[in-house]
A and B are shown apart, each in its own frame.
Chain A
Amino acid sequence: MNLRRDVFQALADPTRRAILLLVAAQSMTAGAIASNFDTARPTVSKHLQILTECELLKQEINGREIFYHMNAKKMKEVADFIEPFRKMWEERFNKLETIMKKYKPASARGTKNK
């Protein structure tokens, strides 16, 4: 799995969180976002790419410019702290289902007349 696309990994970085805070107020172009940071423009672009890949940011094309805005739906989804707990059970239960679909009890083999 590409760790870069992991939403929590994306949020672990302070610059990326700062970008989200900026964009939360209004949609901005990459240039406008970069002008708020001392870091090099390509570094900011990389952060924008990561944030877009994990759907925290959305791109909106307006004429020749690309505006970035926050995907509030995704943010709320991530903020829901029950979700990882739910996922943990979902994964366990999916596994259970897969295992049991293949399950053939040793005692039943050849003993049951069906």
Chain B
Amino acid sequence: MEQKTKINAEDGRQELRITREFDLPLDLLFKAFAEAEIVEQWMGTKVLKLENKKHGSYEFVTTDPKGHKHGFNGTIHEFIPEKKITRTFEMENTPFGVQLEFLEFEKVSEDTSRLNMHIVYRSPELRDQVLKLPFAQGINMAHNRIQDILGKLKKS
């Protein structure tokens, strides 16, 4: 199956890039990031505040299956409709700190568009920790075990 979402995370770097092409015209793609009710739907979060302007800020709160609430917030530095959003992002009550995000929206054709997300973390270590989050949440850190097995596989 084709993977539409691509992640480029080079080893030892404190940044990563996410690119995705959408089967949507540029204006609709951008709207999905600008309108609170739509953000709520695809991000699976509650939007408490979303001020789409320079010096604006946003606040999301997500409730996990166990009923715990997780807060996310950030500040908007640039908001250029159908072009660019520059913002910070922070998961509250975690040791990960703040990250800087550059979102660029491009028209590919009348009906298709592309999003480039460039995310910068404070350090390569923090980046890797954040990358591992979805992995760590679901699977009891099976990753280490797999690495063990793979290590043995290489030796044999």
Chain B, interface size category, equals 35 or more
Number of interchain pairs (Cβ within 8 Å): 104
Q: Could you tell me if A11 and B43 are in contact, using CB atoms closer than 8 angstroms?
A: no
Q: B94 contacts which chain A residues (CB < 8 A)?
A: none
Q: Which residues in chain A, 71-94, are within 8 Å of chain B measured between CB atoms?
A: 72, 75-76, 78-79, 81-90, 92-94
Which of chain B's residues have a CB closer than 8 A to the CB of A32? none
Q: Which of B18-26, B66-74, B97-105 is near enough to bind chain A?
A: B18-26
* Complex Cα spacing A11 to B145, Å: 8
- Are A95 and B42 within 8 A (Cβ)? yes
Contact indicator per residue, chain B 1-44, by CB within 8 Å of chain A (1) or not (0): 00111110100000000101011100011011000001001111
Binds A, one of B52-60, B75-83, B85-93, B148-156: B148-156
B138 at the interface (CB under 8 A from A): yes
- Most B C-beta atoms less than 10 A away, residue of A12, A78, A81, A96: A96
In the assembled complex, which residues on chain B have CB atoms less than 8 Å from the CB atom of A9?
Answer: 139
Minimum distance in angstroms from B134 CB to a CB of chain A: 4
* Residues of chain A lying within 8 A (CB to CB) of residue B149: 17, 20-21, 24, 75
Residue contact B41 to A95, C-beta cutoff 8 Å: yes
20 contacts between A and B (CB under 8 A): A8-B140, A11-B142, A12-B142, A21-B149, A21-B152, A75-B146, A75-B153, A81-B135, A81-B143, A83-B135, A84-B134, A86-B5, A89-B5, A90-B3, A92-B43, A96-B38, A97-B23, A100-B31, A100-B38, A101-B23
Give 10 A-B pairs besides A93-B22, A101-B24 with Cβ atoms closer than 8 angstroms.
A8-B139, A11-B145, A12-B142, A24-B153, A82-B9, A86-B3, A89-B7, A93-B115, A99-B41, A100-B24
